[in-house]
Amino acid sequence: MVGKFEGFEIPKPIPALTEDTKPYWEGCARHELLIQHCQDCGHFRFPPSGLCPKCMSTNTEWVAVSGKGQVYSWTIFHYVYHPAYAKDIPYNVAIVQLNEGPLLHTNIVECNNEDIYIGMPVEVIFEDVNDEISLPKFRPLSK
Amino acid sequence: MSRRAPKLGRGVALVGAGMSKFGAFADKTSRDLFVDAFNAMTKSMDKAINTEDIDALYVGNYSSDLFEGQGHIAPIMADWVGLVPKPATRVEDACASGGVAIREGIIAIASGIYDIVLVGGTEKMSNLPTEQVTDTLASASDATYEGSCGFTFPGLYAAMATAYMDKYGASVEHLMKVGIKNHNNGALNPKAQFNKTIKDLMNSRIEKAKQKGEQIPDWHDEIDFLRDPRANPVVAWPMRLFDCSPITDGAACILLVAEDLAKNFSDDPIYVVGTGQGSDHALHERDDLTSILSARIAAQEAYKMAGVTPEEIQIAEVHDCFTIAELLAIEDLGFFKHGEAFKATEQGLTARDGLKPINTSGGLKSKGHPVGASGVGQVVEIWHQMRGEAGPRQVPGKDIRLTLTHNVGATGGTCVVHIFQRR
């Protein structure tokens, strides 16, 4: 990264908690993946929001999901766009589809970048950022 | 409940179109560029226009607030071209701001509220370091869920490219061929930011190496050059530098009038016969990463309104912010079947002398991508091509009567399509 950032520690962006997203991030902090499940039409939705985009119902329950899924697509960043990611280059970003349906933006961990492929079975693990925030990451599904 | 068949309340015609030079200009602001574009537009017209005849201005601009520290720019642009006290409105839909501004102008005339509308787009991006520009562009994406895992804008398209390659067996070389084709066109466009072919760029690098007495790179053709990470580094795999459109300053203007007034301003007006717009989910809510819903919806609406089929469109300017985006576009527009665009590109079908010339201007890739101006710049190319005024890049052997523009915001959150006819 360019010199002007030297001497500064610029943190990675972390999610801001809102009333609608708080149960999700609180679940992550407990290392539990909670997804909203519409009690009227049964749609699993992500990211968290105040109403079901399929049926407009506000009748929602939080459900602990399996945390298992597969890689839907992925990329490897070779260029630094955010100084906090400079030391990670080259790093992967993946879109993982949970078995329950929703897609999550995440990183694949405990795996070489070269070994990632579409359809790769993965499972969630949590990376603690601070007391409030843990980010869901995915690793190859242990046999 | 489905909508009634979309139609314009009355006809709308295009009677002038012009653009500033696209590029990186340290000594120009978005308002200077806008004046350049306005002057080019008035010069393109067959008959003179008085500014007092113009009823309103719509200007596409993504983020002068962040790029230049200047909000509320529509009245400024109006003032700089002598339109005050006419209504001036800024339209923002990320990279589709210009195309949507055109649509708002079309709707305003079709509604009968205005007869003559100036539509412009302007963006000044080169003041900032790349990271900050990307950061500003990234604010068109989802900050919470993309930012926290290091997903930035080029990466979103990269993930779409990965999915496309996996599904259809396309290779990175197929992406490169889109860029080579668009640079071939841009090399013939004096207003383009990079009016050089990839081969020109390759040869100048070889020449430089010779002059410096350095080892001469072993590049036999453009693909060799583009495969070499020294010439074309990976940005976000599978996309390399030359798969990305540049950071650009530029502006474009067009003049739209009620159809019955068209001949007062032009001997050879171009008619707007279709317009459509759609939205799409963020990437993490899509059923498919290899097709953009908003583009399919916008295209369907525009085709239906115009009463034409994709086969009838002779040339098109599509949103190639990244090379993969052009492949998705020409499939979503129905020019090629899903999974066939990369083969069509390889066969030269989208080249200037091909069956379906795409991005004869050089596209965003070579002409440049001043975000809010890009959608209006597309129509400038269509105007010149339809009137046979495109000079050395004029599509050969075609009497161009039916054309299309396709302008996407971010990863497809917005798409707007327009269809034009010469009678």
Q: CA-CA-CA-CA torsion for B416, B114, B44, B321, nearest 10 degrees?
A: -20
Mean pLDDT for the stretch of residues B362-369 = 98
Task: Check pLDDT > 90 for residue B241.
Answer: yes
CB–CB contact A82 B234 (8 Å): no
Interchain CB distance below 8 Å, A77 and B135: no
Q: Is pLDDT at B278 greater than 80 in this prediction? A: yes
SS3 content of chain B, % helix, strand, coil (to 5): 45, 20, 40
pLDDT in tens, B63-113: 898 888 889 999 999 999 999 999 999 999 999 999 999 999 999 999 999
Q: How much is the mean pLDDT over chain A? A: 90
Between A87 and B138, the more confident residue is A87
How distant, in Å, are the alpha carbons of B19, B46, B153, B200, B382 from that of B269? 18, 9, 38, 37, 12
Give pLDDT, residue B135.
63
Strand intervals (E) in A78-111? 91-98, 103-106
The whole-angstrom separation of Cα A106 and Cα B36 is: 44
Average pLDDT of span A5-33: 84
Average pLDDT in the B365-377 region?
Answer: 97
Output the six-digit token pair for B22.
């696209």
Find the radius of gyration of the CA atoms of chain B. Answer: 20
Query: Mutation test of the interface with chain B: which of A24, A75, A112, choosing the one with the most B Cβ atoms within 10 A?
Result: A75
Position A74 scores a pLDDT of: 97
> Could you tell me the pLDDT band of residue A81, with boundaries at 50, 70 and 90?
confident
As given in the structure block, the two tokens for residue A113 are 């970048």
Taken as a whole, chain A contains a residue count of 143
Dist CA B333 CA B342 (whole Å): 14
Q: Which of B135, B149, B238 sits opposite A107 (nearest CB)?
A: B149
Tell me which residue has tokens 């993982």.
Answer: A96
Whether A3 has its CB under 8 Å from any CB of chain B: the answer is no
Residues in chain B: 423
> Above 80 in pLDDT, residue B5?
no
Query: Which range (A9-13, A27-31, A120-124, B369-373) has the least confidence?
Result: A9-13
B17-33 burial string, b = 16+ CB within 10 Å, else e? Answer: bbbbbbbbbeebbbbbb
Backbone angles phi, psi at B126, to 5 degrees: -80, 5
Q: Which of A125-139, B261-275, B276-290 has the lowest mean pLDDT?
A: B276-290
Tokens of A33: 């993946």
Q: Is B95 a catalytic residue?
A: yes
- Return d(Cα B201, Cα B239) in angstroms, integer: 19
A81 contacts B152? CB cut-off 8 A: yes
Lowest-confidence region among B45-59, B62-76, B181-195, B333-347? B62-76
Which residue type does A24 have? Y
pLDDT of residue A3: 37
Residue A2, pLDDT above cutoff 80? no
Count the domains in chain A.
1
Strands laid side by side in the A60-64 sheet:
A44-45, A34-38, A60-64
What confidence score (pLDDT) does residue B66 get? 83
Chain B's closest residue to A72, CA to CA, is B163
What percentage of chain A has pLDDT greater than the value 90? 78
Catalytic one of B174, B319, B369, B418: B369
Average pLDDT of chain B is 94
pLDDT category of residue B2 using cuts at 50, 70 and 90: low
Preceding omega of A90 cis (within 30 degrees of 0): yes
CB-nearest to A118 from B142, B155, B163 is B163
Does residue A9 have a pLDDT over 80? no
Q: Where does the pLDDT of residue B404 fall: very low under 50, low under 70, confident under 90, or very high at 90 and above?
A: very high
Q: What DSSP character marks residue B244?
A: B
**pLDDT value at residue B355:** 97
> Could you count the other beta carbons within 10 Å of the beta carbon of residue A41?
12
Closest CA to A105 of B153, B243, B96: B153
**pLDDT for position B131:** 63
Q: How far is A68 from chain B (nearest CA, A)?
A: 16
Confidence of residue A90 (pLDDT cuts 50, 70, 90): very high
Contact A48, A40 (CB under 8 A): no
Helices B153-168/B130-138 angle, 10° precision: 70
Give the list of residues 6+ apart from residue B245 with CB closer than 8 angstroms, or none.
Answer: B320, B321, B322, B363, B364, B365, B368, B369
Q: How confident is the model at residue A88 (pLDDT cuts 50, 70, 90)?
A: very high
* Among the ranges given (A106-110, B25-29, B256-260), the one the predictor scored with the smallest mean pLDDT: B25-29
Task: Kindly tell me if the per-residue pLDDT of B129 is higher than 70.
Answer: no
Ramachandran area for residue B190 (φ above 0: left; ψ -120 to 50: alpha; else beta): alpha
Element holding B386 (H helix, E strand): helix B371-386
Q: How far apart are alpha carbons A47 and A98 in whole angstroms?
A: 13
Cis peptide before A47 (omega within 30 of 0): yes
Could you tell me whether strands A91-98 and A103-106 are parallel, antiparallel, or unpaired per DSSP bridges? antiparallel
pLDDT interval class at B211 (50, 70, 90): very high
Confidence (pLDDT) at B180: 98
- Beta strand B250-258 pairing with B414-422: unpaired
What's the rounded mean pLDDT across residues B290-298?
97
| More confident of the two residues B420 and B141 | B420
Q: Is B369 a catalytic residue?
A: yes
pLDDT digits (tens, 9 = 90+) for B348-357: 999 999 999 9
Listed in order, strand segments (DSSP E) in B98-224 are: 116-123
Cα dist. A126→A81, A110, A133, B147, B192 in Å? 24, 12, 10, 17, 48
Give Dmax over CA atoms of chain B in angstroms.
71
* Six token digits for residue B288: 């498919």
Per CB-CB distance under 8 Å, the chain B contacts of A73 are 159-160, 162-163, 166, 289
d(C-alpha B229, C-alpha B179), whole Å: 16
Residue A12 touches chain B, beta carbons under 8 Å: yes
Residue A1 has pLDDT above 70, yes or no: no
Q: Is the pLDDT of residue B366 over 90?
A: yes
Contact B21, B191 (CB under 8 A): yes
SS3 label, residue A134: strand
Over 80: is that where the pLDDT of A6 sits? no
* Structural domain containing residue A115: 2-140
| Angstrom distance (rounded) from CA B264 to CA B401 | 21
Asked whether the beta carbons of B414 and B93 are under 8 A apart, the reply is yes
What ipTM was assigned to the predicted interfaces of this complex?
0.89
pLDDT band at A5 (very low <50, low <70, confident <90, very high): very low
Mean pLDDT, range B242-266, rounded to an integer: 97
Q: Which residues of B touch A82 (CB under 8 A)?
A: 131, 135, 147, 150, 152
